[in-house]
């Protein structure tokens, strides 16, 4: 009886959700969250789930970190909204902070609300200041779901099909996805192949002087947690410089300590022209932004872009607290250390399992890719593993162009014992 009542509490809300919420909004787990703390989400029944999804790389400092909660509460009591009517100090303080933590040459900040909005703003900036139309993106990328960002997204057909016509002047080349490449034994050749495609593009599709920007994820997120071979971004930077093309690096998923550095592009000596951020920036408050050089942004005339809610005081206060926590608790370093240990352990576990094609990772951005018996991507196995994890109260998400990858995105301050617990559940769930 007690059990039946318990189950009903979640179910009551799920029934209401089915009735009132637009069915286009899909959720991975049929759990109704009541609250969350640290690495755990608690459902309406009071059951605790260890969260290795973190709202898709958002809760980098854990759920409801006390410092972030306090900053939000304080700010909400002082000033919630101004829009563009007046300046406010949290925007200015955050802009200063973001300039401090992003690559050296970047010194001019614009704040928005979502990742897609940041992408849109950055592309507008690149087109406006270069006077060129072309944008080059990479196969398997995910940049959002608005009209423009959908056109830049090729990680799955269903994100874009039936929404045509999409904005034009977007040209897509392969991403150096070593594991699924016919050149997989030679990562350098995989990168060469990308640049051959770019060369063809410039010969046959669009003159490089008509290209405003490249847009690239330093580690592909939705596309499968794909880490390009070292040197790829550096080479892309060189090509961009040669043709006066801007390099937009989309760190929406990889930013804020996730990969073991504050931003993933820091793993190579590369500075983008525009760095995009969202997700982990404000502990779950809606905020995004992009940072560029003032020399570039000073050519973008006032009023040519803007936002009613972007950079609202409460989100900015949360972001300032998140960045403090990341720095004080040395969370990028912890992501590198604990993420590295998880990677090694999972790679060892995978050694004698034909159906685990590859385990890869950078910091706490870890992907486990599954193969069927013919070595083809297996969505079926990835989904089965995610389902089994959930039965054992561990939340993980899938990704990958065929849904064949489990991604692990823990809070960067996950405790050693919870990391151990997660590994045990995962290993059990991946044993067939």
Ligand X SMILES: Cc1ncc(COP(=O)(O)O)c(C=O)c1O
The H or E element containing residue 10 is helix 2-20
Task: Name the residue nearer to ligand X (CB basis): 221 or 357.
Answer: 221
Q: How many CB atoms lie within 10 A of CB 104?
A: 8
Task: Name the residue nearer to ligand X (CB basis): 206 or 248.
Answer: 248
Q: Which residues make beta-bridge pairs with 394?
A: 50
Q: How far is the CB of 116 from ligand X (least distance, A)?
A: 3
Strand ranges for 12-51 from DSSP E: 33-37, 40-43, 48-51
Task: Name the residue nearer to ligand X (CB basis): 250 or 273.
Answer: 250
Q: How far is the CB of 348 from ligand X (least distance, A)?
A: 29
Q: How many CB atoms lie within 10 A of CB 85?
A: 7
Q: How far is the CB of 278 from ligand X (least distance, A)?
A: 5
Task: Name the residue nearer to ligand X (CB basis): 41 or 287.
Answer: 287
Task: Name the residue nearer to ligand X (CB basis): 115 or 361.
Answer: 115
Beta strands 40-43 and 33-37, pairing class = antiparallel
Q: How many CB atoms lie within 10 A of CB 101?
A: 17
Residues 242-271 that bind ligand X (CB under 6 A): 250, 252-253
142 lies in the site for ligand X, by CB under 6 A: yes
Q: Look at the chain and count its residues.
A: 432
Q: How far is the CB of 85 from ligand X (least distance, A)?
A: 25
Question: Using the rule CB under 6 A, which residue among 38, 55, 62, 115 binds ligand X?
Answer: 115
DSSP character at residue 371: B
Q: What are phi and psi of 121, to 5 degrees?
A: -65, -40
**Residue nearest ligand X, Cβ-based:** 115
Residues 267-286 that bind ligand X (CB under 6 A): 278
DSSP H helix total and E strand total for the chain = 13, 15
Task: Name the residue nearer to ligand X (CB basis): 181 or 253.
Answer: 253
- Asked if 13 and 32 count as a contact pair (C-beta separation under 8 A), the reply is yes
**Number of residues located near ligand X, criterion CB under 6 A:** 15
* Listed residue (328, 285, 308) closest to 72, CA to CA: 285
144 lies in the site for ligand X, by CB under 6 A: yes
Residues 355-394 that bind ligand X (CB under 6 A): none
DSSP per position, 295-322: HHHTTS-TTSS--SSTT-HHHHHHHHHH
* Listed residue (370, 353, 373, 368) closest to 407, CA to CA: 368
Q: How far is the CB of 272 from ligand X (least distance, A)?
A: 13
Task: Name the residue nearer to ligand X (CB basis): 116 or 419.
Answer: 116
221 lies in the site for ligand X, by CB under 6 A: yes
Task: Name the residue nearer to ligand X (CB basis): 208 or 311.
Answer: 311
154 lies in the site for ligand X, by CB under 6 A: no
Q: How far is the CB of 224 from ligand X (least distance, A)?
A: 12
Over its C-alpha atoms, the chain yields an Rg (Å, rounded) of 22
Task: Name the residue nearer to ligand X (CB basis): 116 or 366.
Answer: 116
Q: How far is the CB of 70 from ligand X (least distance, A)?
A: 25
Q: How far is the CB of 183 from ligand X (least distance, A)?
A: 25
Beta strands 394-395 and 48-51, pairing class = parallel
Residues of this chain that interact with ligand X (CB under 6 A) are 56, 114-116, 119, 142-144, 217, 221-222, 250, 252-253, 278
């Amino acid at each position: 009886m007690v059990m039946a009542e318990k189950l009903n509490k979640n179910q009551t809300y799920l029934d209401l959700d089915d009735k009132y919420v637009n069915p286009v909004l899909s959720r991975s787990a049929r759990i109704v969250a009541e609250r969350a703390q640290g690495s755990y989400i608690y459902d309406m029944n009071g059951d605790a789930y260890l969260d290795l999804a973190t709202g898709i790389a958002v809760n980098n400092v854990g759920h409801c970190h006390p410092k972030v909660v306090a900053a939000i509460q304080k700010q909400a009591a002082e000033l919630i909204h101004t829009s563009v009517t007046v300046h406010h100090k949290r925007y200015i303080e955050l802009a200063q902070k973001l300039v401090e933590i992003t690559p050296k040459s970047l010194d001019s900040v614009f704040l928005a609300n979502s990742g897609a909005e940041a992408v849109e703003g950055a592309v507008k900036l690149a087109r406006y200041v270069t006077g060129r139309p072309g944008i080059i993106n990479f196969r398997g990328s995910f940049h959002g779901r608005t009209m423009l960002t959908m056109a830049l997204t090729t990680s799955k057909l269903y994100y874009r099909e039936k929404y045509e016509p999409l904005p034009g002047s977007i040209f897509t080349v392969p991403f150096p996805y070593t594991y699924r490449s016919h050149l997989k034994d030679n990562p350098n050749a995989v990168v060469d192949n990308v640049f051959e495609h770019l060369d063809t593009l410039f010969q046959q599709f669009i003159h490089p002087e008509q290209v405003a920007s490249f847009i690239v994820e330093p580690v592909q997120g939705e596309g499968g947690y794909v880490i390009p071979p070292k040197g790829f971004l550096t080479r892309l930077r060189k090509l961009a410089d040669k043709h006066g093309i801007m390099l937009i690096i989309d760190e929406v998923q990889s930013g804020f300590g996730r990969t073991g550095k504050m931003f993933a592009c820091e793993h190579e000596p590369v500075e983008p022209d525009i760095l995009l951020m969202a997700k982990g920036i404000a502990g779950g408050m809606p905020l995004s932004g992009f940072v560029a050089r003032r020399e570039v942004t000073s050519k973008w005339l006032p009023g040519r872009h803007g936002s009613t809610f972007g950079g609202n005081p409460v989100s900015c206060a949360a972001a300032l607290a998140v960045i403090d926590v990341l720095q004080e608790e040395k969370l990028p370093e912890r992501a590198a250390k604990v993420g590295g240990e998880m990677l090694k352990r999972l790679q060892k576990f995978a050694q004698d399992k034909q159906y685990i094609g590859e385990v890869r990772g950078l910091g706490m951005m870890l992907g486990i890719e599954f193969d069927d018996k013919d070595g083809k991507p297996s969505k079926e196995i990835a989904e089965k593993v995610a389902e089994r994890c959930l039965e054992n109260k561990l939340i993980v998400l899938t990704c990958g162009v065929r849904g064949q990858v489990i991604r692990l995105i823990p809070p960067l301050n996950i405790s050693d014992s919870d990391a151990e617990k997660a590994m045990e559940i995962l290993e059990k769930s991946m044993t067939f």
